[in-house]
Each structure stands twice: as C-alpha cells, then as structure tokens.
Amino acid sequence: MTAASGKLIKGQTGDWEMVIGLEVHAQVTSRSKLFSGASTEFGGEPNTHVSLVDAAMPGMLPVINEECVRQAVRTGLGLNAQINLRSVFDRKNYFYPDSPQGYQISQYKSPIVGEGVVEVELDGGRTVNIGIERLHLEQDAGKLLHDQAPSLSYVDLNRCGVALMEIVSKPDIRDAEQAKAYVTKLRSILRYLGTCDGDMEKGSLRADVNVSVRKPGGPLGTRCEIKNMNSINFIGQAIEYEARRQIEIIEDGGVIDQETRLFDPNKGETRSMRSKEEAHDYRYFPDPDLLPLEFGEAYVAGLKAELPELPDQKKARFIDSFGLSPYDASVLVAERESADFYETVLAGLTDKARDGKLAANWVINELFGRLNKEGRDITGSPVSAVQLAAIVDLIGEGTISGKIAKDLFEIVWQEGGDPRALVETRGMKQVTDLSAIEKVVDDIIAANPDKVAQAKAKPQLAGWFVGQVMKSSGGKANPQAVNDLLKAKLGIGSVP
C-alpha cells in the first residue's frame, strides 16, 4: 500500500516530503502487572505497588498475566491485525536504576500481533490508511525521583512491570496532521476496546516519533527519533520543527546524524539526547524464565466475537440508520464518551428513526457548543442524555418549536429538571390551535396594510409576518400552521 501524500515543506531547493513512523506505548488496562500480582493503580505512595518479582529479588521468576495477553489480542483485532498464535518474550538488557532486573522483558523477533491497518480521517473528509507493523507486550520501567535529596536520586518502582503495548506503525505517515490524526484514532480505538485508558497526561499513552525528510518520491533520508511524547499537539509541533531542522541541515550541505532527540515543549524545539554511536546494544535473547506464549484459534475467535463496536463501525451505523452526515458521525464517534452520550440519547427517544438525526444536531451543536464555551467535558455535562432525549422528543412530536427548545435547554442547563414537566409548568407548549393563531394573523394583517401590499408583490417579504406572529405568540405558535395561514390570507404561493 502506498502512503497518501501529505503536506510538503518548501525549502530553498524545492519541496520536501516527510516520512514519519510512530511507536506508541500504551499502558494495558489490567488490575495487576504483566508478570507479577502487584497492583497497577496510579498515584500510590512510592514503592507501595511492588512485588518481589518487580524488585528483581534473587530467585524471583515472572509469570505471565493472562489478562494482559487478552487485552493485547483484543487490541490486535481492533487494529485489523494478524494475531500470532505463538510469540516469544525476550530480554532487552540494559542497566538503569528504574529497571531492577537489569533487563526489560519485551518481545523482539516474535511479537504477539503482526501487521494491521488503521483508517485515519483528515480534515475535509479525506481518509488515509496507516499500516501497523506490529504490536508487542513489554514491561514498563519505574520512575526516578531527582528532587527528594540533594545528592541522591530515589527510585519508585510502582510503575515498574506494568504492561505496555508497543504499537509500531509503518512509515506511512507523511505530515504532522496525519501523525496527529493517527494517534487520535489509535487512542480512540484503544479506549473503545477498553485496553488502554489513553490518558496522556498520566503517561498511559506515549509516543516515540521517527522523522526523516526526502525529495518527494526520492530515496529515504536518515531518521531521527523523538522520544517520549505525551501530547498529540506536541507530536505535531515536534514533527514540524524536526522536519524543518533536517531540511535546513541538508540544504546547507550537511548530513543528518541518526540519533535520539527530545522535544522541549517550552522552546518548541527538539534537541539531541544520544547519537547512534552511544546507542545501547540491548543483547536481546529469548527469556529462559518464560515459555513461548501460545494459544489457539478458538481463543482468538472467542475474543473477536465479544469485541465492542469500534469507531468505524459505529460511524457507519450512525450514517446508515439515522442519516447523519459523515462529518457529524465522525464528530460523535471520535471520543468514546461522546458516542456513549449520543447512544444514551438515542435510547431515550420515542422515535429514533424519526429524531435520530435531530438528536445528533442537538448533541453536536447545542450541547458540544455550550460545553466548549464553558470549557467543560461531556462527562460533566449539566444536561444529561436522558434530559436531552426528552427535549428532542418534545420537538419531534411537535410539542415545542426548535426556538422554544433552546430556551428549554437553557433552563435545564441552569436549573435542571424534567423537560416535559418544565414545558407544562412554564407554559412553553407550542400553540397549534388554529383559531388562536388565525386571530393573531388577522390582527397583524389588519394593522399593516402597507406590508400586506409589499408581500403580495414580493412574497419573500412575507417572512416579516412570520416573525411578528411568532413574536406576539411568545414563540409558541406552530411555525407550520403560521406559514399555512399566511400563505392563504396573503394569497401567495409560499412563505420563505
């Protein structure tokens, strides 16, 4: 599969293309660690979630946590990837105080998940497919605390041994936008699956970004790896900076050194961390403490059958069943919480088929709009999905107009309450009594003979009458009834 073209960068010698690949480290959602029974809970006092195995005491042995295996397989299925029925754990040897064993247990030559693909949406509705090279399971490291003593560093092993999935993309990504969209989509899939909470602030999802540049279609350039990115925006900024840095060096006649770099979000720059020469020789070899990891087709099939609906499937269903635009459907499915909220609204509707699309408009325009304005999250919405469903029901069945609904939404937002009861007690019901509306129409026509003449000559001007009628009915007149009456009384074809 050839990668979709991305944004090119203009240099002094012409256009340059970026070639980007990502290694995403996603913390597996599981109660205990990959090879020990210690808790994975975040935020405990230092060294309170550490087993003898995690601390690499003499004679301790790892035992695989089956839940982590299950989560890795489910993730592989969610990435449309090859599941390897036999995989091998290897030791990656290096010395560092956050790695008590002196090696990380990882998977090198035989990962649990092989090639897959993720469909990523870009602005303007374009989509690109990003290939997945592999997914493997490995242990997370502990954490060094440098601010506890003047001349010593402290070690916290709570995170040490927690399961990570390293998800490696193919170098199919061509610009920062694609990279950001890829991580966003990957995060969304993981969260739908419940295999990673995707919390980048807590470090549950981190990415190493490989960037190189070349003349479009030319041979691959030398890549640099930007380590440990924990924000989607920073990933975008780092790629932009790094690509321009490389182009400048090449255009000045220099060569790119293959190296590992760090992104400084304050300066918006990447800087060198270590060169290729300083790179570790990890001396990978199969971990003799662990047998190869093997399971059958039936195990995989069982997990596949129980997978939840993923964003792409959900989007297709929203479009097919409720006539949502692809854009609206994408907005709703992007975050699992938004999709869940919309699903709950749907479940509360009296007539989903009729009002599903209307409900989507209300969730996206009114609710998201209002939440954004106040900087709030869907999970903290003052208007519940059940309340919103009731409002949409009231519109759909003709009890209130869209305009009144907005007032009602505001009341529910501010004060809460049952929308249907509020409509009752506050007299917000739409007036569909034709004689009542007719009287208002007649009064306005009688009082404004000049406007009548104008409207007869130029039917577009009849809109003025609609406004007047709605105004004097306090917005409660049924707009369709008003239109019909005006049409008849003014003797015009249609009211705009």
Partner 1 sequence: MTDLISMTIAEARNGLANKSFTSLELTDAHLAAIEAARALNAFVLETPDKARAMARAIDAKIAKGEGGPLAGIPLGIKDLFATKDVRTTACSKILGNFVPPYESTVTSQLWRDGAVMLGKLNNDEFAMGSSNETSCFGPVVNPWRREGSNTSLVPGGSSGGSASAVAALLCMGATATDTGGSIRQPAAFTATVGVKPTYGRCSRWGIVAFASSLDQAGPIARTVRDAAILMRSMAGHDPKDTTSVDRAVPDYEAAIGKSVKGMKIGIPKEYRLDGMPAEVEKLWTEGAAWLKAAGAELVEISLPHTKYALPAYYIVAPAEASSNLARYDGVRYGLRVPGRSIGEMYENTRAEGFGDEVRRRVMIGTYVLSAGYYDAYYLRAQKVRTLIKKDFEDCFAKGVNAILTPATPSAAFGVGEKGGADPVEMYLNDIFTVTVNMAGLPGIAVPAGKDAQGLPLGLQLIGRPFDEETLFSLGEVVEQAAGRFTPARWW
Cα separation, 472 vs 474, whole angstroms: 5
Is residue 373 near partner 1 by the rule CB under 8 A?
Answer: no
Shortest distance (Å) from residue 137 CB to partner 1: 15
End-to-end CA distance of the chain: 51
Cα separation, 331 vs 125, whole angstroms: 11
Cα separation, 410 vs 427, whole angstroms: 15
Q: DSSP of 210-275, one letter per residue? A: EEEEESTTS-----EEEEEE--HHHHHHHHHHHHHHHHHHHHTT--PPPEEEEEETTTTEEEEEEE
Of 57, 145, 386, 447, the residue at the interface with partner 1 (CB under 8 A) is: 57
Query: Looking at residue 457, what DSSP letter applies?
Result: H
As given in the structure block, the two tokens for residue 237 are: 């900024």
Shortest distance (Å) from residue 270 CB to partner 1: 25
Q: Which is nearer to partner 1, 284 or 464 (CB)?
A: 284
As given in the structure block, the two tokens for residue 414 are: 């501010």
Shortest distance (Å) from residue 280 CB to partner 1: 10
Asked if residue 370 lies in contact with residue 388, where contact means CB atoms within 8 angstroms, the answer is no
Is residue 281 near partner 1 by the rule CB under 8 A?
Answer: yes
Q: Which is nearer to partner 1, 63 or 307 (CB)?
A: 63
Write each residue from 151 to 190 as x if it is in contact with partner 1 (CB under 8 A), else as -, in one continuous string. Answer: --x-x-----------------------------------
Q: Which is nearer to partner 1, 145 or 386 (CB)?
A: 145
Q: Which is nearer to partner 1, 56 or 411 (CB)?
A: 56
Q: Stretches 287-295, 321-329, 333-341, 459-467: which one binds partner 1 (CB under 8 A)?
A: 287-295
Is residue 274 near partner 1 by the rule CB under 8 A?
Answer: no
Asked if residue 153 lies in contact with residue 138, where contact means CB atoms within 8 angstroms, the answer is no
Of 21, 76, 78, 100, the residue at the interface with partner 1 (CB under 8 A) is: 100
Q: Stretches 188-196, 215-223, 280-288, 348-356: which one binds partner 1 (CB under 8 A)?
A: 280-288
Of 2, 43, 45, 58, the residue at the interface with partner 1 (CB under 8 A) is: 58
Helix (H) or strand (E) holding 75: helix 66-78
Q: Which is nearer to partner 1, 63 or 434 (CB)?
A: 63
Q: Which is nearer to partner 1, 101 or 399 (CB)?
A: 101
Q: Which is nearer to partner 1, 57 or 447 (CB)?
A: 57
Of 55, 73, 383, 490, the residue at the interface with partner 1 (CB under 8 A) is: 55
Shortest distance (Å) from residue 242 CB to partner 1: 27
Asked if residue 425 lies in contact with residue 415, where contact means CB atoms within 8 angstroms, the answer is no
Is residue 93 near partner 1 by the rule CB under 8 A?
Answer: yes
Write each residue from 116 to 155 as x if it is in contact with partner 1 (CB under 8 A), else as -, in one continuous string. Answer: -------------------------------------x-x
Is residue 86 near partner 1 by the rule CB under 8 A?
Answer: no
Of 4, 8, 60, 300, the residue at the interface with partner 1 (CB under 8 A) is: 60
Measuring CA to CA, how many Å separate 57 from each of 60, 90, 139, 282? 6, 19, 16, 22
Q: Which is nearer to partner 1, 152 or 298 (CB)?
A: 152
Could you identify the residue written with the tokens 């003025």?
464
Is residue 97 near partner 1 by the rule CB under 8 A?
Answer: yes
Asked if residue 169 lies in contact with residue 21, where contact means CB atoms within 8 angstroms, the answer is yes
Q: Stretches 89-97, 215-223, 245-253, 488-496: which one binds partner 1 (CB under 8 A)?
A: 89-97
Query: Looking at residue 365, what DSSP letter applies?
Result: I
As given in the structure block, the two tokens for residue 432 are: 């569909």
Of 269, 289, 340, 484, the residue at the interface with partner 1 (CB under 8 A) is: 289
Shortest distance (Å) from residue 153 CB to partner 1: 8
Contacts 24+ apart (CB under 8 A), 257-261: 257/222, 257/224, 258/222, 258/223, 258/224, 259/224, 259/225, 260/224, 260/225, 260/227, 261/224, 261/225, 261/226, 261/227
Of 290, 300, 411, 436, the residue at the interface with partner 1 (CB under 8 A) is: 290
Cα separation, 152 vs 36, whole angstroms: 28
> Which letter, b or e, does each residue of 259-276 get, where b requires 16 or more Cβ atoms within 10 Å of its Cβ?
bbbebeeeeeebeeeeee
| Beta carbons within 10 angstroms of residue 494's beta carbon | 10
Of 15, 41, 61, 496, the residue at the interface with partner 1 (CB under 8 A) is: 61
Shortest distance (Å) from residue 147 CB to partner 1: 16
Of 262, 259, 278, give the one whose Cα is nearest residue 270. 262
Cα separation, 334 vs 329, whole angstroms: 9
Is residue 222 near partner 1 by the rule CB under 8 A?
Answer: no
| Beta carbons within 10 angstroms of residue 45's beta carbon | 8
Amino acid at 325: S
* Contacting positions for partner 1 (CB under 8 A): 52, 55-64, 91, 93, 95-97, 100-103, 153, 155, 281, 283-285, 288-291
